[in-house]
Chains A and B, each alone.
Chain A
């Protein structure tokens, strides 16, 4: 059978299967939708989406299909077109696999939630929006998916809406994403005016692409993927339930910004300024997030900063003009990051809501499966040879070392790699080893298969995914083949140095002394002071000036200055100047009148 037909049909079938629960909503009165059915739907969709991925891997078939066209104006049409290329066909099974595992986990985690079906619906709607974003062939459909994931992120972060901190975090996420959206709309406008289409297939310009639309795209990626400057929303988003953090803020939504840059990489490729900007921004983000992760005590915040750091690494890869490698890192990162979040969710529930790692310890014996998978996830994150993270991370660092680029960006990325090892080891040591610092009557258990199955499945993915993907996908650019041994093992050496640093620090702090405050500790644990410095003055000034202008100044100007008091002031001014002028000497005036009349009469006759 013709491969493209099979490809298109199976991919559309996947999308249709995903959409079924939403279509059944208005139809069925006897709420036949439940968490189990939704999980089963996503599992079916995953299995079906393996078909197009296998087809692509074995035969290299790609396709672009277009279904309906919105005849916007006579010469600007927006088709509903799907692009099934390497990126979308690889992303579908990975996203569906991770979502399936997370949904299965969430049936246990959110079991005491009264609106659990609505929660699952929100997650499903998010997944639909993300898949639309991935498969979109034009910027319009991508924008629909982009806004969709932003909206669902807002609804899901603020899931426990009675909690003021969750509402603030959701608001923060929406505002920071909106700032990024300004950039996206700017570049969409430029694209529409220059290329007269929003399709991604236009031929790249032979000359250098103007920097401004690329800046817009980079701003969009900064907002959505939490690069330095628009990053505070990602750690704040940990206010949402752990399945939300696992799905949105580790594997899928936050990579949407990087995915946008991957999709538009022909435009970026011939503009060295934009590439250097991506490189430097990514390097700064990865180091800043790794520095902040070193001193955090909330387990979810550590993993959130780890995500932020890896996103910076993906941005660095884009800056090296290696979009395929960035996508590989997205794929491998999804597995182990989602698994890390699910393990942390198990730990949190087992300790009855405790999220502070200073109150955890010795969990290796109490939760063996979970903590073993946590170790596997951390090893994959650190880029241990031949686990999933190694294939992408090591290649990135090799390409960094063998390219012509900004030296400081290279140094920062290497430093961030060792910091990654440090904070991962710190988390492992404090959570899993040592004496238990938890209360003795915690409901610690992993008896439910709904916990262990998703985590072990993702652990298997973390181990094998890198090997499988790199074995079957041919690289589009030649990877660097020859380099000195030091360069080849640079990533491993940096990681080992980070581990050594962590071991050294932990032996230093084994005596029960409280760390004294010093500027570096303060800087790291207060997240670089970015949050209070930016949030407080800006919002205060904006709200104060808005209030002042809208109520005080407008009232003052219209009711007073333009009306009675304004007239009074003008009149007073005129009066004051003219009062000094006239002296009131009536007799002199009358005499001058008489004199002038006599003179006129005398000259007349």
Chain B
């Protein structure tokens, strides 16, 4: 038979301290470290609940038995170990705390969006002005009275 023997496979949730000790021995863990998942019907059995740390947090320079996954033979594997490999989720501590990162990023993003909104309301354009015509704004051509004094028109040079 090539399968594992029955006593090496995961079993039901340990209820007595003897069962806990036997389960910890099975998983190569100390009884103090062994903590099973809570028995809430989700089918974890006596599998240990290891801390949620990814492979990134393990020493890159230590001579692991399997260097690519940073794991030694016989070491208990996390239930979600395929999520915590080096290609996927990284739980290593960030240089800056999470709430600071989130706050600064959202500040940056919101500032940008508000300023873009302001920029839409007050766009930039080359200076424009109404058209300026000679001869007192074409007073006579527009049917102005030739005898009356034309209104004063000031022109500007842009």
Contact = CB atoms under 8 A, between A and B. Distances in A.
A588 interface: no
B121 to A, nearest CB: 9
B80 A544 contact: yes
B123 A406 contact: yes
A407 B123 contact: yes
A276 interface: yes
A410 B124 CA distance: 8
Given A522-B96, A540-B89, A543-B80, A404 B123 contact: yes
A210 interface: no
A280 B101 contact: no
Contacts of A539: 83, 88-89
Contacts of B89: 536, 539-540, 543
A171 B88 CA distance: 10
B105 A406 contact: no
Interface stretch (B111-119, B131-139, B140-148): B111-119
A545 B83 CA distance: 12
Contact of A164 (B86, B115, B124): B86
Interface stretch (A336-344, A495-503, A552-560): A552-560
Contact of A408 (B86, B116, B126): B116
Interface string B80-112: 100100111111001110000110110010001
Interface string A160-193: 0000110110010000000000000000000000
Interface stretch (A459-467, A523-531, A591-599): A523-531
The A interface is mostly helix, strand or loop, or mixed, namely: helix
Given A171-B87, A543-B89, A544-B83, A526 B125 contact: no
Contact of B104 (A523, A543, A547): A523
Nearest to B112: A284
A526 B101 contact: yes
Interface residues of B, number: 31
Contacts of B61: none
Interface residues of A, number: 40
B94 A532 contact: yes
B39 to A, nearest CB: 13
A202 interface: no
Given A168-B87, A406-B119, A543-B89, A529 B126 contact: no
A402 interface: yes
Nearest to B118: A408
Nearest to A409: B119
A556 B91 CA distance: 29
B108 A528 contact: yes
B122 interface: yes
B116 to A, nearest CB: 5
A403 B91 CA distance: 47
Contact of A405 (B104, B105, B124): B124
Q: Which of B43, B102, B126 has the most CB of A within 10 A?
A: B126
B113 to A, nearest CB: 9
A519 interface: yes
Contact of B96 (A409, A411, A529): A529
Contacts of B43: 551-552, 555-556
A536 B91 contact: yes
Given A284-B112, A543-B80, A543-B89, A402 B96 contact: no
B42 interface: yes
A404 B80 contact: no
A23 interface: no
A552 B68 contact: no
A274 to B, nearest CB: 14
A533 B101 CA distance: 8
B129 to A, nearest CB: 15
A348 to B, nearest CB: 22
A556 B44 CA distance: 11
B3 to A, nearest CB: 21
A501 B12 CA distance: 67
A406 B80 contact: no
A528 B105 contact: yes
Contact of A560 (B41, B96, B120, B126): B41
B83 A407 contact: no
Contacts of A523: 104, 108
Given A403-B125, A523-B108, A168 B86 contact: yes
B101 A409 contact: no
Contact of B101 (A404, A532, A535): A532
Q: Which of A164, A167, A530, A555 has the most CB of B within 10 A?
A: A164
A347 to B, nearest CB: 26
B95 A522 contact: yes
Contacts of B94: 526, 532
Nearest to A404: B125
A540 B82 CA distance: 11
Contacts of A547: 80, 83
Interface in A393-413: 402-411
Contact of A529 (B101, B112, B119, B123): B101
A279 B132 CA distance: 34
Given A528-B108, A543-B80, A543-B88, A407 B119 contact: yes
A528 B109 CA distance: 10
Nearest to B42: A552
Contact of A402 (B87, B108, B126): B126
Contacts of A526: 94-96, 101
Contacts of A528: 105, 108
A380 B156 CA distance: 41
20 contacts: A164-B87, A165-B86, A276-B120, A405-B123, A406-B116, A406-B120, A406-B123, A407-B118, A407-B119, A408-B112, A408-B119, A409-B116, A409-B119, A519-B104, A523-B108, A529-B104, A536-B91, A543-B88, A544-B83, A547-B80
Given A529-B96, A529-B102, 14 more contacts: A164-B87, A165-B86, A284-B112, A284-B116, A406-B123, A406-B124, A408-B115, A408-B119, A411-B119, A523-B108, A532-B90, A533-B101, A556-B42, A556-B43
Interface of A: 164-165, 167-168, 171, 276, 280, 284, 402-411, 483, 519, 522-523, 526, 528-530, 532-533, 535-536, 539-540, 543-544, 547, 551-552, 555-556, 560
Ranked nearest first, the 4 interchain pairs of A and B with the lowest CB-CB distance are: A408-B119, A406-B119, A529-B101, A164-B86
